[in-house]
Structure 1
């Protein structure tokens, strides 16, 4: 993770690393797919030229910002292996590149991430309101929502009304407020439009924490979804979990509307924000899982004994 001497990975760090990657490897496409409430760009990177279209995203939730450098480190190492025509975790990286088109959106919620990491300095124009929603506290470590106090992963039209009733949160705040209707927030709407435009074959959303893989949604998932989740579990050491009692999330909506494999990956274990000291171990677990998502098209599982997990 390229964070200098800091123990954070903020929006500026992310943008600088994304631009550097695109400059170093001209075959990585960097595009702005939308903007946050405060006008920060929501960036996507594309790597690969294959017909199998895969999407990974991170930092839907502000205090889960550690998921952004996880994705960026994966993309950087993947690009290095492709450029050098090297084996990566025992797999020919060039073959993976030629078989897949991977789109990553490493920071879905840039305003929220900046609020958690930089507080008032990140949102002076709206800080009084955000301060009020946070119970009069300047400690934003527990803030998951976007800058309007809406939980972006409760914003999708997948039994949204059920989730709103279950959450029973009356208004904006640090977490669990669904908004007044689905897709009211620009960040969630950006992700919905991007997904509909690209028509992905498989998606993964990185969250924290719990070391779990959620793979189902109200029996809308394809028949092979559980078997795929077990492959991801084998690659990572995480547990594949059949989840109930949760609606309106990004992967829920994807499974419901596209009937294709969608996964929520809860990385690490502990309390959010996860300590940055856990990053090396989390990445060692998650990188093979992310690679496995690209190997499904090839029918390959090199992680049966997790022999490459210390790569």
Structure 2
């Protein structure tokens, strides 16, 4: 049975049980789109919440799109769920973009979406101390005044500082904190280890990491084929209206996109979707514009990667 209507999941952005309700929505998508969309558990968070992937398509070009490495950036989880539902609705009517029908695209491309990389952190932002397990109650870094701006997981590790790169982020810290802690060792956290294993399994041809604040696209990490990756980034910049960040090499960073580009020499983007809002959640009123700018991004990115990497 194929999903026949597009709807938004933005109501979940105000959920009292965010990660639980997101996973319920994912399982429901799988239930009502059997044969087209497949749900898999790729790992668990520190607190045991399943980290789920959704796979659409059967092509040899494999694209990973993931969101909410940073806890306060969960507007991107809503965006990915809506992108998935939008893609399903286009498939139903065999809509074409750039003279390629969505049905044909899904013959050439396999999409893997991981909509909520950091469920524990997101629950902390949405509900504060209600989601702190008893064994963590005495952790000094879990300061209630910081919960609204939290980026890390429940261990106080910034997941986007937990990937090994040749030129790591220069602003990382060692001690657990609400942001910037790189962890005791690379891939120390079950959330980043799950992404590592998923990537090694699929050996993706391209990836998009969605983040929340700044309206900018980061696309560099000292890659060899800079002309190819710049061309792909320009296509997404044109679609979204977000500026491309041009950085002086060597580019530093310890995020998923940086690790992916360095290890696989394939195109990777980090997309910041909202105007800059500071250290807090993106206001819900920003979402309509975010979705309109980004709804076609997975399709356009997949087409670009397919044509430029085959």
Q: TM-score, normalised by structure 1?
A: 0.88
Output aligned runs, 1:66-215, within 5 Å. Answer: 66-87=75-96, 92-130=101-139, 132-134=140-142, 136-159=143-166, 162-163=168-169, 166-167=170-171, 169-215=173-219
8 Å CA contact 1:119–1:138 kept in 2: the answer is no
The yes-or-no answer on 1:228 pairing with 2:232 is yes
User: What is the aligned partner in structure 2 of residue 295 from structure 1?
Assistant: 303
Q: Which residue of 2 aligns with 1:305?
A: none
Provide the secondary structure at the position in 1 that maps to 2:184: coil
Q: CA deviation at 1:241?
A: 1.3
Q: SS of the counterpart of 2:303?
A: helix
Report the alpha carbon displacement of residue 183 of structure 1 after superposing the two structures with TM.
Answer: 0.9
Change (3 A) 1:268 1:90: farther
Q: 1:42 to 1:56 in 2, by over 3 A?
A: same
Shift of 1:91: 5.2
| CA contact 2:174–2:183 (8 Å) conserved in 1 | no
Per the alignment, residue 254 of structure 2 pairs with 248
| Alignment partner of 1:20 is 2:40 | no
Instruction: Give the 3 Å change call, closer, same or farther, for CA 220–138 of structure 1 in structure 2.
Output: same
- Structure 1 residue aligned with 2:276: 270
> In the superposition, relative to structure 1, how do residues 298 and 145 fare at CA in structure 2: closer, same or farther (>3 Å)?
closer
State the secondary structure of the residue aligned to 2:110: strand
Q: Which runs of 5+ in 2 are unaligned?
A: 1-7
Contact 1:120 1:127 in 2 (8 A): no
1:217 equivalent in structure 2:
221
Structure 1 residue 138 displacement after superposition: 4.6
Counterpart of 1:281 in structure 2 is 289
Query: What secondary structure, in the 3-state scheme, does the structure 2 residue paired with 1:167 have?
Result: coil
User: In the TM superposition, what is the alpha-carbon distance from 1:79 to its structure 2 partner?
Assistant: 1.0
Counterparts of 1:188 and 1:299, CA distance in 2: 29
How far does residue 92 in structure 1 lie from its aligned partner after superposition?
A: 1.9
Tell me, in whole angstroms, the C-alpha distance in 2 between the residues paired with 1:207 and 1:255. Answer: 17
- 1: CA distance between counterparts of 2:217 and 2:11? 31
State the secondary structure of the residue aligned to 2:285. Answer: helix
Number of residue equivalences = 295
RMSD across aligned positions (CA) = 2.1
Equivalent position of 2:3 in the other structure: none
1:4-19 matches, cutoff 5 A = 4=11, 7-8=14-15, 10-19=18-27
Q: How far, CA to CA, are the matches of 1:196 and 1:3 in structure 2?
A: 32
Q: CA deviation at 1:210?
A: 0.8
Give the deviation of 1:269 after TM superposition. 0.9
TM-score by length of 2: 0.89
- The question of whether the paired residues in 2 share the 8 Å contact of 1:204 and 1:265 is answered with yes
